[in-house]
Amino acid sequence: MITPQIVREHGLNEEEYARIKGLLDREPNLVELGVFSVMWSEHCSYKSTRAHLKTLPTKGPRVLQGPGENAGVVDIGDGDVVVFKMESHNHPSFIEPYQGAATGVGGIMRDVFTMGARPVAMMNSLRFGEPAHPKTRHLVDGVVRGIGGYGNCMGVPTVGGEVNFDRSYNGNILVNAMCVGLARADKIFLSAAKGAGNPVVYVGSKTGRDGIHGATMASAEFNADSEEKRPTVQVGDPFTEKLLLEACLELMATDAIIAIQDMGAAGLTSSSSEMADKGGAGIVIDLDKVPQRETNMSAYDMMLSESQERMLAVLKPGREAEAERIFKKWELDFAVIGTTTDTHRLIVKHKGEVVADMPVGSLSDAAPMYERPFVKRAPATGMPSFDASRPVMESLLKILAAPDMCSKRWVWEQYDQSVMADTVQMPGGDAAVVRVHGTNKALAITTDVTPRYCRADPYEGAKQAVAEAWRNLTAVGALPLAVTDCLNYGNPEKPEIMWQIVAGIDGIGEACRALDFPIVSGNCSLYNETQGEGIMPTPTIGGVGLLKNVNRMATIAFKREGDAIILIGETKGHLGQSIYLREVEGKEAGAAPSVDLAQEKKNGDFVRDLIESGHVDTVHDISDGGLLVAVAEMALAGNRGGAVAPGTIPFLFGEDQARYVLATPDGERLVSDAKRAGVAATLLGSVGGDRIAIEGAGEITLSELRKAHEAWLPGYMSGEF
């Protein structure tokens, strides 16, 4: 008997329950209610965002598969494709940081190898609470160890990411993991289980009671008791995942598979119903055949378990023995647990009885879709005051030592960055670069978002996140191809949060259209709130680009004494919402910088041409901290100093967009080429020496800068401050 209390405990409201009864033409039983609750959860159904996500550009001449599958697929020529996606694992990582982060990595890797691709690079975008918060150190430690523990064992390099701190994440950290894989265009596997009478096989780990209702947990706010939700967090086993990866790729080399999907959020429920739904088929599964880790598991437990390292595949009839041989070789469970039908129904049997029987469409297309009300808020405006007499070099030192700006070496050294022997650019540059194995091509990969801009102006901030990702790929010489996004926001039932979401999606769409940078995959993570406090809007953008010739590539490091330092792009000196204001003046105020997308494209295309034609090999985009911080980072990376012409504080530290710093032996020629192309270019100074110097504003040695830049994170983590 389903009581209103049980319905509420499943995160469904009265109208949603009435809708379920209408779809079934009767009351659901408990198993069915559980299935509806996870499939209709925000996490699985995107019920608050679906209407808005439809407006995003998802097509392009290179896009072979856009959103809707396990990951996006983009053509990179010669029959090769890149397969990628980013996904959040925020809620579980806050409750249990090691396992939450580890299974986030495992889950996104499965999404990529389910498509037939071998994962070749991982990135992650991490946001933690303020350093002084009592939980932050523990969470940083657990998340970083979890990412490393899983990714290192898998033998996939973790090549970069972001780590930031802000008090708005005190109760809701963000762990967004991105996986990039490579496949052949004619060997892509999809999840549509077309046809009736085909065997449904279960492979991988056994099913246990872990992670039950994980998707529902991730679709609600936290309260003071959130720690009690620890049993909803899954436990990862990277060893089994590595075997599953190799076994799946081995099976995929045959032509036995019709459809395949990983069991991620909502496990057996979502994989079986989604495969049937996409294939226009039905599916019958017999839970008695499911490999089980524990005894006496109920149908409810099994359908809602989020045990990791499991896959569901539909094979061509008669190919079961061949597939079983491969999974037995890799010492993995293999079981035929059902068959596809033409009934369009998901039928679940347990101990000889039908325990669930529902139309597959009722779980997906018929899921509720809300046009939630939103209240438009005016963006922050104005230009806060600042003290123009502050000493520049002291400010530079302070910024480079700040938690958000300091070196993240402590993090990335815990990740294997060079396994697979194709990592050409490691963490620390604008984008990571990974060679396409056995070729001269390479992929550039980055993740970006500046949440403080998004808080001040959700629309411009989201535009900026896309533009910065595009710029970072351009800065290494890559042609930006496509985007995956992870939209992290608070509670969409609050109109002011819904406005952030709507404006953010609009901004992303606008920038992606202007920059020919379509969205091919992604996810939304809403309800990132604790006791009514929401996070800053954080639409993380994962960008992937292509270098046709990996030998024509730029890095940020200064390389030659005497190179001219050149600024590309127009500088008005925008200090609103800048790192300078926050770290030096202690103000988080003013308008976020706006992005002129046409100028962004023009400047970027100019810089990329210079790299592709072999004229420039030293480039850094200008973002957090502005021009002088960019120059200092280039100097530290190359261990060569530089002398820069004098400028005002807004000039040196402003965060105007669409800008790059270049270093090249022939500066004058570059400046005149830029003028001809209609791109602003300014000769700033030259590379040399062991310090950063500005006439009239003093100097600072690289060793002093380096010490400050490297000190904060290891010191903080060891409890020194």
Partner 1 sequence: MKSAVVVFPASNCDRDAAVALEQISGTKPHIVWHADSEVPDVDLIVLPGGFAYGDYLRCGAMASQSRVMRDVKAKAEKGVAVLGICNGFQVLAETHMLPGALIRNAGLKFVCRPVAMTVEETQNAFTRKYNHGQRVVMPVAHGEGNYFADEETLDRLEGEGRVVFRYVNDDNPNGAARNIAGILNEKRNVLGLMPHPERVCDPLLGGTDGRALFESLIEALS
Residues acting as catalytic residues: 43, 89
Of 37, 152, 170, 528, the one binding partner 1 by CB under 8 A: 152
The secondary structure of 17-44, three-state, reads HHHHHHHHCCCCCHHHHHHHHHHCCHHH
Q: Which residues have CB under 8 Å from 73's CB, separation 6+?
A: 63, 64, 65, 81, 82, 83, 115, 183, 188, 520
The count of chain residues that interact with partner 1, using the rule CB under 8 A, is: 32
Bridge-based pairing of strands 479-488 and 199-204 is unpaired
Is the separation of the CB atoms in 687 and 561 below 8 Å?
Answer: yes
| Shortest distance in whole angstroms from residue 472 CB to partner 1 | 20
310 binds partner 1 (CB under 8 A): no
422 binds partner 1 (CB under 8 A): yes
79 binds partner 1 (CB under 8 A): no
Nearer CB in complex with partner 1: 276/411? 411
Nearer CB in complex with partner 1: 427/539? 427
551 binds partner 1 (CB under 8 A): yes
If you write DSSP's letter for every residue of 598-662 in order, what string do you get? HHHHHHHHHHHHHHHTTS--BEEE--TT-HHHHHHHHHHHHT--EEE----HHHHH---SS-EEE
Is the separation of the CB atoms in 283 and 218 below 8 Å?
Answer: no
Q: Which residue has the tokens 């006439």?
A: 695
The interface region with partner 1, picked from 7-15, 268-276, 417-425, 622-630 by CB under 8 A, is 417-425
416 binds partner 1 (CB under 8 A): yes
Q: What are phi and psi of 442, to 5 degrees?
A: -150, 155
709 binds partner 1 (CB under 8 A): no
The interface region with partner 1, picked from 57-65, 300-308, 416-424, 474-482 by CB under 8 A, is 416-424
Hey, is 347 helix, strand or coil?
A: strand
| Shortest distance in whole angstroms from residue 121 CB to partner 1 | 14
297 binds partner 1 (CB under 8 A): no
Q: CB-hemisphere CA count at 13 Å for 270? A: 27
Site for partner 1 in 345-374 (CB under 8 A): none
Q: What are phi and psi of 346, to 5 degrees?
A: -95, 115
24 binds partner 1 (CB under 8 A): no
What the block records as the tokens of 531 is 């006791």
Query: Does the CA dihedral 113-117-123-129 come out positive or negative?
Result: negative
Of 417, 446, 464, 530, the one binding partner 1 by CB under 8 A: 417
What the block records as the tokens of 176 is 């967004």
Of 23, 30, 336, 420, the one binding partner 1 by CB under 8 A: 420
Nearer CB in complex with partner 1: 153/218? 153
Of 168, 198, 341, 423, the one binding partner 1 by CB under 8 A: 423
| Shortest distance in whole angstroms from residue 712 CB to partner 1 | 17
| Shortest distance in whole angstroms from residue 419 CB to partner 1 | 6
| Shortest distance in whole angstroms from residue 689 CB to partner 1 | 25
**Helices (H), ranges, 484-587:** 495-514, 579-580
Nearer CB in complex with partner 1: 261/417? 417
| Shortest distance in whole angstroms from residue 452 CB to partner 1 | 30
| Shortest distance in whole angstroms from residue 148 CB to partner 1 | 5
Nearer CB in complex with partner 1: 2/419? 419
650 - beta bridge partners? none
Distance CA 232, CA 506 (A): 34
Of 62, 278, 435, 582, the one binding partner 1 by CB under 8 A: 435
Hey, is 485 helix, strand or coil?
A: strand
720 binds partner 1 (CB under 8 A): no
Provide the strand spans (E) within 343-411. 345-350, 353-359
253 binds partner 1 (CB under 8 A): no
145 binds partner 1 (CB under 8 A): yes
Which residues are at the interface with partner 1 (CB under 8 A)? 145, 148-149, 152-155, 237-240, 242-243, 330-331, 412-424, 426, 435, 550-551
